[in-house]
Structure 1
Amino acid sequence: MMRKPEDCTLMVVDDTETNIDLLLDTLGPEYEVMVAIDGATALEHAKASPPDLILLDIMMPGMDGFEVCRRLKQDARTKDIPIVFITAMNEVLDEHKGLALGAVDYITKPFNPAIVRVRVHNHLSLKLAKEALADQNASLEERVRERTKELEQTQDVTIQCIASLAETRDMETGEHIRRSQHYVRTLARHLRNHPRFRHALDSSLFIDQLFKSAPLHDIGKVGVPDRILLKEGPLTKEECEEMKRHTIYGYEALQRAEKGMSGQKSFLSTAAEIAHTHHERWDGTGYPRGLKGDEIPVSGRLMAIADVYDALISKRSYKKAFSHEKAVSIITEGDGRTLPRHFDPDVLEAFMKEAETFRSIAKRFCDGDPL
C-alpha cells in the first residue's frame, strides 16, 4: 500500500533556534520532524535514518547548506532525498546554484507558513508516487522474469521431447541429445574470439541458440521409413539417398514452424540451418547440397564434428562403440577415409584442443560404460 504524506519524516537543518521553532510550529502538527543544527550532524542523521524530505538552511557555520546538499547527492544512501532550501539568501544566482546542486525547491525567508506546508506536501506526494511507481515496475519486472523463465523451461522441455522422439526411432538416446548440445557449445565458446568466427559467435545469445537448436539436428528422421531407419544391414544406394533426405525433412519442418513466430530470428531458424547442413563437408562431398568451405554455415560446421564424434563413441546395431582415443584418431587422422578433410580446419583444431572436454561431456552423459 502506498504511503501517505502524513506518514513521512522531515529533517530541518538550521543553526538558528527561532527558525527551527517556526518550522516545527508550521510542520510539526502534520509530520514527524527531525532537527539538526549544523551540516555535519545533518549528514550523520541523514545516513543513519534517512528522512523523506530535508528543509535546509544555507548560511550555517562550518559547512554551509550548499556543501551539505552536494554531499547528500553524492551518497547513494541519501541522493534521492528531496531537498528544499529555505534561506534568507534571496539572490537569483543563489537560487540557481541551489537548484543546480539537486534541490527540488528554494524558499526565501521570511516565509509564509501556508506556502511552506503546501510545497512540502506536494514534494512528498511526488516522492511517494515515484516510490510507488518504482515498486510497481520492480514487481512487474520480477513477474516478467518469472514468466520468461517458465516459457524458457517449457520451450527447453518441448525441444527435448521432440528431439527424443526422433532419436529413439533409430535407437539413439536422450543422452546423445545432451552430449551434442554440450559439444557444440564447447566448440562455439572456444572459437568465439577467432578472427574467422568472431562475426558469427560474438553473441552469447547466438551461442545459447546453438545450444537449444542442437537437439533438433536429426528431427527429420521422423520422415524416414522404419524399413530404412531401423535396417541392421547395409543400405542400398536408393535407401542411402532416402536416408539423406532427413536433412531436408528437418529443415522444411523447422522452417514452417518458424514462420509462425514473429520478431527477431528465433532459435528455430538456427535449428533449421543445423538440420539442413550438419552433413555437409568442408571438401564439398557432403549432402544434401554439396556445399563447400565457407558456404557451409558455422552452425553446420560445428554440429558436423560433434555428430561424428558422438556417432563414433556410441554403440549401434551395426558397430561397436569406439574409445575416446580411437574416435579422436579417426576424426583427426582418418581410418582409410578422407574424414579430416570433411571438417573446417579451424573447427578441427578447436576439437583437438577441446578433446578432453569432449571426453568429460561423454562421461557426464554416458549411455553405458564410461569411456
Structure 2
Amino acid sequence: MSSSSFIVLPVDRDTEANRELDAPSDWGATRGCLTRLIEQWVVLPEEWDELPPDLRSQILRPDAPDVLGQLVDNHLLTQFQADKVREGGEGELVLGHYRLLDVIGRGGMGTVYRAEHLHLRRQVAVKVMARTAETNPRLLHRFYGEARAVAKLQHPNIVGCLDAGRHTPPGAGPRDYYVMELIPGADLQATVTAHGPLPPSRACDLFRQIAEALAEAHRFGLVHRDIKPGNILITPDWRAKLLDFGLALRPQNRMTEPGLVLGTIGYMAPEQAQDAHLVDGRADLFSLGATMYWALTGREPFPETGHLLRDLTTRLNAPALDPRRVRPELPEELAAVVLKLTDRDPERRYQSARAVAATLAGVGRWASLRDADDRPTQPRVLIVEDDPRLRRLMVGLLRDCTCVEAGDGKTALAELEKAAFDLLVLDVNLPEMSGPDLLARVRADDKWRERTRTLMVSGDLPSESLGGYLMTGADDYLEKPFLPPAFQARARALLGRSAPPTGSRPATAPDPPPRAPDDANKVAATDPLAFGITRLLEEIGVILRGYHDRCGRYVRALAAAAPDEGEYARLRNPAYVEMLVRAAPVHDAGMLVLPNSILLKPAALDPEEQAIVQQHTVIGAQVIADTAQRWPLAVPELGLAGEIVRSHHERWDGGGYPDGLAGTHIPLAARVVAITSVYEMLRTKRPHRPALSHNQVTRLLVTDSPGEFDPTLLGAFAASARKFDEIFQSVKR
C-alpha cells in the first residue's frame, strides 16, 4: 500500500513504517487520499461540499485524529466503506453507477451489498459475483441467467431486477453484478426465529402472496427450485417478496448437470432430490409447503444431519408434514393445505400455484375472522335439512361454529324465534314448511333480514333453478351432492360477510342458555380419556379427587397471567389454551404402570426406585405416541399431550429428566404443566410427607427452586398465586 493511504491504516506501534505514516508532516498525503476518495465517488463531492467550512477545515487539519472516523461520524462514509479503505480496497467500492455501502449477505454465487446509485441517490441491492466463479463460464452464465430471469418478472411479490453489468476497476479484474430492489425488513427465517411461529391468518396472507409470485414465475416457465425461509423477505408492513432465482430452471436452457443436487435438502421435493432438471412447478409447491411448516411451527421440516445420502433417503421416503403435531391449535383446513402441498406424489399435490393462492385466500379470511378481537363468540348457524346424515356432515364441516339442527321448516322457525343466527343453511324441500316459504318469512322480518345470511341447497333442482332464489332473498346456493370443501367455502364466505358488529347481540333475539344435547356433541375426544386417567390415579391414591377439574383451571389461570409476547402469546390463543386444558390432566398417565409399593412408599425412594419412577414419563409418552400414530387427525391434541407427558419433569437449567432438555428446548406446554402439577403435588399429602400450605408452596416455587422452572412462567404464577389457592380450595376433593 502506498504511503498516501496512511490516514486509513490501523496503527501498529511495532513498525517503523506506521510511525512515519502517522506523523503530522504527512498532511499532504491525507489531503491527497481524501481527494482520491472524492474523485472516485466513494465520498460524494456534493456531500463534502455541503459540510460547513469549519468542519471541513477540522477534518483537514494536519493533526486531525482518525480522518476516516470523522467521515463516518458525519455520514460521508459508512463503517463498511471505512474498513474497506483501511484495507486498501477503495477501488472496489464503486461498480458502474453504484456505490457500495454495506454487506447484506453472502452466498455461494457472490455477495449482496446495500448500494446507492451515484446520480439518482436511490438505494438498491447489488449482487456481485464471487471472484472464484469468474473463471467458470457455466457459473457466469447462471449468474446472468438469474438476472435475466428476474428481469422478465414484473410482480409485486418478487424482488425485481433493475440493472446488470460488468465493471473493471483500474488495475483489477472485471466484476460482474446485477442490481435489485432494496427491500426493508428481514427474511422469514430471521422473522420466525426472533418472534416465534406465525399466527394462522398471517401465515395464510404471506404464503398466498408467495404462491401468487410463483404463479407468475411458472407462467414464464421458471421453476425456482430453492423456496425456503431465507429466500422470502418480509417487509415491515407484512408484504412478502420472493428472491434468489439463482437455481431457477428455465425453459429451453437446462444448465443442471446430471447427478448434481440443487436446492436445500431440508425443503426440496422428493423428485427434485432424484433429478433436479426434470422437475416442474409442483416441486416449488412442495418447498412452499415445507416452508409453511417452518413458519407455523418454528421447526425444520426435514432436519439435515450432515450426511448427504441419509438426508436424501429421508427426503425420498418421508411422509407429508402435519403442523398440528407441533401446534394442535392450528385450523384443520390450514394443516390440510400443508399436508397436500408436501405429499410425496406430485399428482396428489395442488397442481398450480394459482390454486394454492386461492385456497389460502379463503382459509386466511376465515382464520382472520375467527381470530378477530371484536368477534367474542362463535358464529351461529342453523342447519335445516331433513336428511340427518347430511345434517351431521354439515355440522362436522362447520365445527368451529355453534350449529343448531332442524329437520323441518316449523322446527327451524321455532329456533329462529328463540335466538339469532348468522347463517341459515336451508334445504328447498322440507316437511311442514318448505325452504322457500321459510326464506320468505326470514326476509320479511326486520330482526332476521339484516343479520342472517341464507345458503339454499337442493338435490332436486339444477343450479340454474336454484339461482332463481337469489332474486327472492337468498345469498347463495349449492347443488347437492356437493364436495365438502365447496360447502365449507360457501358457508364461510357468507359468515365473513355477516360478521356481527362489536358488542352484544340484539335484545330482540337473545341467545338461549346452552342446551345439554349441544354441549354433549362438543365434548372433545381427549376429555373422557383425561378424566378416566385422573380417576384411576385418584383410586390408587396418587392424586386427590377432583384433580381433572383443578388442573384445567390452574392452566387457565397461568395462561391468563402470561405475557402476550414471543412464544408465550400462544397462551392467549383460546384454541391452544383449550387443547392445553384438555391435555394437561394426562401428564402422569405413565404412573398407572408403576408398582404401588413404590407409589405409596411411606419413606423416601432409594436411587433404584427413583429411576423406576422416572420411567413413567417415557412409558406414558410412548402410549400417547402410539395412539396418535393410529388416529393422527382424530384427536389433534394428542401431540400436545405427548409433549406434556414426556417433558413435564424437565428443568429450565437442564437438570431434569428424561431427556435433559433446557430452556426453550422444553415444549411450552410441558413448562406450563411443570408449574401447575408441582403446585398441586406439594399441596397434597403424600405417604412420606405432609401437605404444604399455599404460602409454603408459593415460596418454594418462586424463591427456593432456582433453575427448575421457566422464569417467565414463574412470574406469571407469582402474579396469579392467589387464584391457584382459590382453585385448590374451591374444587371438591
TM-score by length of 2: 0.31
Pairwise CA distance, 1:152: 1.2
Q: Distance in 1 between matches of 2:667 and 2:452?
A: 54
Pairwise CA distance, 1:163: 2.4
Instruction: Find 2:715's aligned residue among 321, 328, 349.
Output: 349
Instruction: Find 1:308's aligned residue among 674, 678, 702.
Output: 678
Pairwise CA distance, 1:191: 1.9
Q: Distance in 1 between matches of 2:435 and 2:670?
A: 61
Query: Match for 2:558: what amino acid?
Result: L
Show the 5 A alignment for 1:215-294: 215-263=585-633, 266-294=636-664
Query: Match for 1:236: what amino acid?
Result: D
Pairwise CA distance, 1:148: 8.0
Q: Distance in 2 between matches of 1:252 and 1:79?
A: 47
Pairwise CA distance, 1:224: 1.1
Pairwise CA distance, 1:154: 6.3
Alignment-derived partner of residue 18 in structure 1: none
Contact 2:601 / 2:687 at 8 angstroms: preserved in 1? no
Alignment-derived partner of residue 299 in structure 1: 669
Contact 2:591 / 2:616 at 8 angstroms: preserved in 1? yes
Q: Distance in 1 between matches of 2:549 and 2:611?
A: 28
Q: Which moved more, 1:170-179 or 1:306-315?
A: 170-179
Instruction: Find 2:553's aligned residue among 176, 182, 185.
Output: 182
In structure 1, list runs of 5 or more residues that go unmatched: 11-45, 52-71, 81-121
Deviations 1:227-252 (A, max 9, x none): 21222222111110000111111100
Corresponding residue SS for 1:174 = coil
Instruction: Find 1:327's aligned residue among 678, 692, 697.
Output: 697
- Larger RCO, structures 1/2 (Cα 8 Å, 6+ apart): 1
Aligned CA distance change for structure 1 residues 154 and 127 (closer, same or farther; 3 Å) = same
Greater helix proportion: 1
Query: Match for 1:76: what amino acid?
Result: E
Aligned CA distance change for structure 1 residues 214 and 157 (closer, same or farther; 3 Å) = same
Aligned CA distance change for structure 1 residues 132 and 251 (closer, same or farther; 3 Å) = same
Contact 2:545 / 2:732 at 8 angstroms: preserved in 1? no
Show the 5 A alignment for 1:104-183: 127=472, 149-150=520-521, 152=523, 155-183=526-554
Aligned CA distance change for structure 1 residues 253 and 129 (closer, same or farther; 3 Å) = same
Corresponding residue SS for 2:706 = helix
Contact 2:580 / 2:669 at 8 angstroms: preserved in 1? yes
- 1:76 paired with 2:439, answer no
Query: Match for 1:356: what amino acid?
Result: R
Contact 1:187 / 1:350 at 8 angstroms: preserved in 2? yes
Deviations 1:207-243 (A, max 9, x none): 1110001110000001212221222222111110000
Pairwise CA distance, 1:151: 5.5
Alignment-derived partner of residue 297 in structure 2: none
Pairwise CA distance, 1:125: 10
Instruction: Find 1:340's aligned residue among 683, 706, 712.
Output: 706
Pairwise CA distance, 1:130: 8.1
Contact 1:50 / 1:78 at 8 angstroms: preserved in 2? no
Deviations 1:277-323 (A, max 9, x none): 11100111111111111111111111111111111111111111111
Q: Distance in 2 between matches of 1:209 and 1:325?
A: 30
Over alpha carbons, which structure has the higher Rg? 1
Aligned CA distance change for structure 1 residues 79 and 132 (closer, same or farther; 3 Å) = closer
Percent identity over paired residues: 30
Aligned residues: 258
Alignment-derived partner of residue 578 in structure 2: 208
Corresponding residue SS for 2:546 = helix
Q: Distance in 1 between matches of 2:571 and 2:634?
A: 17
Pairwise CA distance, 1:159: 2.1
Q: Distance in 1 between matches of 2:597 and 2:452?
A: 75
Query: Match for 2:608: what amino acid?
Result: E
Q: Distance in 1 between matches of 2:451 and 2:648?
A: 56
Q: Distance in 2 between matches of 1:366 and 1:221?
A: 23
In structure 2, list runs of 5 or more residues that go unmatched: 1-430, 455-466, 480-486, 493-515
Q: Distance in 2 between matches of 1:321 and 1:133?
A: 62
Corresponding residue SS for 1:288 = coil
Corresponding residue SS for 1:282 = coil
Q: Distance in 1 between matches of 2:614 and 2:697?
A: 23
Corresponding residue SS for 1:211 = helix
Query: Match for 1:325: what amino acid?
Result: N
Aligned CA distance change for structure 1 residues 129 and 228 (closer, same or farther; 3 Å) = same
Pairwise CA distance, 1:170: 3.9
Query: Match for 1:358: what amino acid?
Result: F
Q: Distance in 1 between matches of 2:451 and 2:726?
A: 48
Corresponding residue SS for 2:603 = coil
Aligned CA distance change for structure 1 residues 50 and 331 (closer, same or farther; 3 Å) = closer
Show the 5 A alignment for 1:2-21: 2-3=433-434
Deviations 1:31-62 (A, max 9, x none): xxxxxxxxxxxxxxx99x949xxxxxxxxxxx
Pairwise CA distance, 1:132: 10
TM-score by length of 1: 0.59
Query: Match for 2:544: what amino acid?
Result: T
